[in-house]
Amino acid sequence: MTTPRILVTCPPMLGLIDEFEADFAASGLACVAAKTSQVLSEAELIDILPDYDGWIIGDDPASRTVVEAGARGKLKAAVKWGVGVDNVDFKAFQAANIPVENTPGVFGAEVADVALTYTLGLARSTYEIDRAIRQRHEWPKPSGISMAGRTVAIVGFGDIGQQTAKRILACGSDVIVYDPFFKEVPGLPVTPATWPEQIGKADFLIFTCPLTPQTNGMFNVDLLPLLRPGVRVVNVARGPVIVENALVEGLRNGQVHSAALDVFEVEPLPGNSVLRSFDQCIFGSHNGSNSADAVRRVSRIAITKIAGFLSV
């Protein structure tokens, strides 16, 4: 019997791919690492995917045309590495009778660590100070703000949102939570609210929600006048949750003090993006979940799932 071949296109997993060869082999699978540092295009996937029995998906476009191309070839199963699934057409997989799952609830702590790091960085201008010292040989001493007694609004109260709330509460802040499916969590004394009620109280606004039709463009020009002047914005969710032109307008007029973004509408962030002109902002590379410990844990979950689908 031919060993099933699994295409891996997830960059964090690819970064440690040699470590997983034994896991694939133990599951009776052969791993093939895609040559990518971000995502493959639809055209690239349509060309190569039909040659593989399984696919461990990153943020690539797992669209209907891609899935149908795979189905015309050998593709029998797929696993979306990680939590976010906005790039996966589940109906297309279902129509092709190809099982697909993600790996839910696996990155809450890791992404929350980054959310807290960004929040504290905005509160105390630590990244801005670092750049001034390194790049301009300055010795700045800006006055930041304390977290104790501040109000932090968190959009999304799933695993990541809960873990973020836990960390923010430890700083002595009050937390307002926006989530239509909110459920109380013992030990997390947060205040639920309906978006965008009470948003004017927030000194910080942190997005930890999935990208859905309801969350797409939540931060927009209509929201700006409702915000507390000088609010600090953090996004560790998905880029399109924030309309970047609206954020730029808020930064220009001072309604938004600063922003820390791990995700963007277009990734990588274009070289001509106006956002780059705001020194008080912090930018990441959609890397919030990428700790070596988490990558190892989730990659092995993905391997186990794909092996189960293929009954290997």
Q: Do residues 21 and 299 make contact, with C-beta atoms less than 8 angstroms apart?
A: no
Nearest by Cα to 173 from 159, 196, 190: 190
Residue 312 has pLDDT above 70, yes or no: no
Would you call 297 a catalytic residue per the annotation? Answer: no
Point out the catalytic residue in the list 150, 232, 257, 286.
Answer: 286
* Residue 142, CA atoms < 13 Å, CB-side half-sphere: 17
Summarised one tens digit per residue, pLDDT across range 241-271 is 999 999 999 999 999 999 999 999 999 999 9
The single residue of 110, 238, 257, 265 carrying the catalytic annotation is 238
**Which residues, other chains included, contact 265 with Cβ-Cβ below 8 Å and sequence gap of 6+?**
239, 240, 242, 243, 244
Q: Residue 260: which of 158, 149, 126 has the closest Cα?
A: 126
What domains can be seen in the chain, in order of their start residue? Answer: 5-106+291-309 (3.40.50.720), 108-283 (3.40.50.720)
Asked if 41 contacts 20 with a C-beta cutoff of 8 angstroms, the reply is no
Q: What is the largest CA-CA distance in the chain?
A: 67
Q: What b-and-e string marks burial along 96-119, b requiring 16 or more CB atoms within 10 Å of the CB?
A: bebbbbbbeebbbbbbbbbbbbbb
Does the annotation count 257 as an active-site position? no
Q: Tell me: the pLDDT tens digits for 154-208?
A: 999 999 999 999 999 999 999 999 999 999 999 999 999 999 999 999 999 999 9
Name the active-site residue from 21, 138, 197, 267: 267
Provide the residue count of the chain. 312
Whether 286 is catalytic is yes
